[in-house]
């Protein structure tokens, strides 16, 4: 049965496909969470099946772990791995310095722990994720359930003294109930519109009692691989200061990806 990818899925696919070139036999690889990261896991699974690639994957969520096992990737915990060769993950936003907002998929805590336990972090994204200044996408912060409403109030009061345009804070919901992360915590989404000083913001917000972690990834990402709907790929390396372009051909009827849902 054949199928046709939408332009946005083509962009995600070619970015993920390009990123697999950084993965080598014997590596311990952090596997991100979200729709773009799912493309990566599928691509790596194809390499395991068809090319005999041998890697150990450390997933950043239970759903990524399930997908990795389904496509034949050996899954281990971060405690077993201790340190990773690289992590490949998606992002909700990235700026010109490759600073990120992550956590739209609800896995920001595990994603940040895994990314910082890696020699290199590679982000895969479509071109729409690039912004001049972070903050257009709501910034998630993970908070413990105990006293979360007090934590929310403290966050709102703290925002008054920070360089942001918006200050709306909302509890993320899962239907009629609060959303729970894999660690059993809640997520507060901060609708800021613009974050004037992301580094300062991250340090200040993490000092609030009840806040576990925030979705700002500052100085963590090394490379961003940007996919386009026409098959073009752009690779930006912040350390090398380079930008490279290439193109990937995709096969519309590749059944390996036909069942991948966002």
46-74 residue pLDDT tens:
999 999 999 999 999 999 999 999 999 99
- Computed on alpha carbons and rounded to an integer, the radius of gyration of the chain in Å comes to 18
Q: Residue 191: helix, strand or coil by DSSP?
A: strand
55 and 177 both lie in a single domain:
no
13 and 115 both lie in a single domain:
yes
- The domain that holds 44 is classified in CATH as 3.40.50.1360
Task: Give the pLDDT of residue 100.
Answer: 98
Task: Answer yes or no: is 257 within a domain.
Answer: no
pLDDT exceeds 50 at position 253: no
119-156 residue pLDDT tens:
999 999 999 999 999 999 999 999 999 999 999 999 99
105 and 30 both lie in a single domain:
yes
CA-closest candidate to residue 221, choices 130, 115, 65 = 115
pLDDT exceeds 70 at position 255: no
Task: Give the pLDDT of residue 250.
Answer: 65
Over 54-123, what HEC string results? CCEEEECCHHHHHHHHHCCCEECCHHHHCCECEEEECCCEECCCCCEECCCCCCHHHHHHHHHCECCEEE
Query: What average pLDDT does this structure show over 248-259?
Result: 57
217 or 249, greater pLDDT:
217
Task: Give the pLDDT of residue 261.
Answer: 46
43 and 168 both lie in a single domain:
no
258 or 35, greater pLDDT:
35
* Intra-chain end-to-end CA distance of the chain, in Å: 20
208 and 226 both lie in a single domain:
no
9-19 residue pLDDT tens:
999 999 999 99
Q: Domains in the chain: how many in total?
A: 2
DSSP annotation of 195: B
Task: Answer yes or no: is 105 within a domain.
Answer: yes
**Dist CA 140 CA 218 (whole Å):** 14
* % of the chain with per-residue pLDDT over 90: 92
145 and 52 both lie in a single domain:
no
pLDDT exceeds 70 at position 227: yes
Decide if 99 contacts 134 (C-beta within 8 A). yes
Q: Which of 46, 66, 74, 111 is catalytic?
A: 111
- The domain that holds 165 is classified in CATH as 3.30.70.260
pLDDT exceeds 70 at position 259: no
Residue 4's pLDDT band (boundaries 50, 70, 90)?
Answer: confident
Task: Answer yes or no: is 61 within a domain.
Answer: yes
Task: Answer yes or no: is 99 within a domain.
Answer: yes
223 and 208 both lie in a single domain:
no
Query: What average pLDDT does this structure show over 189-206?
Result: 98
Annotated binding site for substrate: 33-36, 89-92, 102-105, 129
Decide if 118 contacts 86 (C-beta within 8 A). yes
* % of the chain with per-residue pLDDT over 70: 94
Task: Answer yes or no: is 232 within a domain.
Answer: yes
55 and 103 both lie in a single domain:
yes
109 and 150 both lie in a single domain:
no
**What is the residue-averaged pLDDT of the chain?**
94
Q: For residue 238, what are the contacts with CB-CB under 8 A and spacing of at least 6?
A: 97, 98, 221, 222, 223, 224
- Structural domain span for residue 148: 139-212
pLDDT exceeds 90 at position 93: yes
Q: Could you tell me the pTM of the whole model? A: 0.93
Specify the range with the lowest mean pLDDT, choosing from 5-9, 90-94, 107-111. Answer: 5-9
pLDDT exceeds 80 at position 231: yes
111 given a catalytic annotation: yes
């Amino acid at each position: 049965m054949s199928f046709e990818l939408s332009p946005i899925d083509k962009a995600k696919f070619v970015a993920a496909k390009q990123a697999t070139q950084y993965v080598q036999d014997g590596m311990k690889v952090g596997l991100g969470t979200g729709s773009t990261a799912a493309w990566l896991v599928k691509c790596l699974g194809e390499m395991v099946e068809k090319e005999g690639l041998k890697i150990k994957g450390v997933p950043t969520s239970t759903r990524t772990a399930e997908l990795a096992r389904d496509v034949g990737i050996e899954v281990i915990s971060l405690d077993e791995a201790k340190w990773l060769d690289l992590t490949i993950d998606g992002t909700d936003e990235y700026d010109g310095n490759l600073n990120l907002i992550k956590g739209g998929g609800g896995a920001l805590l595990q994603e940040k722990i895994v990314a910082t336990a890696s020699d290199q972090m590679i982000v895969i994204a479509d071109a729409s994720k690039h912004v001049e200044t972070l903050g257009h996408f709501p910034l998630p912060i993970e908070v413990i359930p105990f006293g979360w409403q007090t934590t929310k109030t403290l966050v709102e009061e703290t925002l008054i003294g920070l360089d942001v345009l918006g200050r709306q804070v909302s509890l993320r919901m899962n239907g009629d109930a609060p959303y729970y992360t894999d660690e059993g915590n809640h997520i507060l989404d901060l609708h800021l519109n613009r974050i004037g000083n992301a580094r300062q913001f991250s340090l200040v917000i993490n000092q609030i009692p009840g806040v576990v972690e925030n979705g700002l990834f500052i100085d963590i990402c090394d490379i961003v691989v940007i996919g386009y709907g026409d098959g073009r790929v752009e690779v930006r390396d912040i350390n090398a200061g380079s930008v490279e372009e290439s193109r990937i051909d995709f096969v519309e009827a590749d059944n390996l990806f036909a069942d991948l849902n966002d």
